[in-house]
Amino acid sequence: MEQQKKITIADVADALGVSRTTVSRAISGKGRIGKETRARVMEYIEAHDYKPNVIAKSLAQSKTYNICVVMPGEYDVIDLHFFQECLFGIQEIAGAMEYDLLLAICKNNDVSSLDRVISNQKVDGTILMRTFVEDAQVEYLQSKKTPFVAIGSSNYQGVVQVDHNHRSACRELTSILLMKQMKKIALIGGDEGHVVNQSRIMGFREAYEAVGAQVDEDLLYLNLENNVMVDKKVDEIIEKGADCILCLDDAVCSRVLRKLREKEINVPEQIRVASFYNSTVLENNVPSITSLNFGAKEIGMVACQTLLDMIEGKEVSPRTLLPYQVVLKESTAWNG
Cβ proximity to DNA, 65 vs 208, nearer residue: 65
Is the N-terminal amide bond of 287 cis, ω within 30° of 0? yes
Cα–Cα distances in angstroms (integers) from residue 59 to residues 55, 62, 65, in the given order: 6, 5, 11
Binds 24: which of a second copy, DNA, none (CB < 5-8 Å by kind): DNA
Contacts (CB under 8 A) with a second copy, residues 144-163: 144-147
Is the N-terminal amide bond of 318 cis, ω within 30° of 0? no
Binds 9: which of DNA, a second copy, none (CB < 5-8 Å by kind): DNA
Binds 287: which of a second copy, DNA, none (CB < 5-8 Å by kind): none
- Minimum distance, C-beta of residue 88 to a second copy, in the bound complex (Å): 7
Rounded CA-CA distance 31/21 in Å is: 10
List the helix and strand counts (H, then E) for the chain. 12, 12
Q: Is 175 in the site for a second copy (CB under 8 A)?
A: no
- Buried b vs exposed e over 114-152: b needs ≥16 C-beta within 10 Å? beebbeeeebbbbbbbbbbeebebbebbeeeebbbbbbb
Furthest CA-CA distance within the chain: 87
For strand 291-293 and strand 325-327, is the pairing parallel, antiparallel, or unpaired? antiparallel
Cβ proximity to a second copy, 77 vs 176, nearer residue: 77
Helix 20-28 vs helix 35-48: angle between axes, to the nearest 10 degrees? 90
Q: Is 15 in the site for a second copy (CB under 8 A)?
A: no
Q: Is 73 in the site for a second copy (CB under 8 A)?
A: yes
The amino acid sitting at 64 is: T
Answer for which of 3, 4, 62, 214 binds DNA (CB under 7 A) is 62
Answer for which of 19, 21, 51, 319 binds a second copy (CB under 8 A) is 51
Please report, as ranges, the residues that interact with DNA according to CB under 7 A: 6, 8-10, 17-22, 24-25, 27-28, 30-38, 52-53, 56-57, 59-62
Please report, as ranges, the residues that interact with a second copy according to CB under 8 A: 1-4, 6, 51, 53-56, 58-59, 64, 66, 69, 73, 75, 77, 80-81, 84-85, 87-88, 91, 95, 98, 100-103, 105, 113, 116-117, 119-122, 144-147, 254-255, 258, 261-262, 284-286, 310
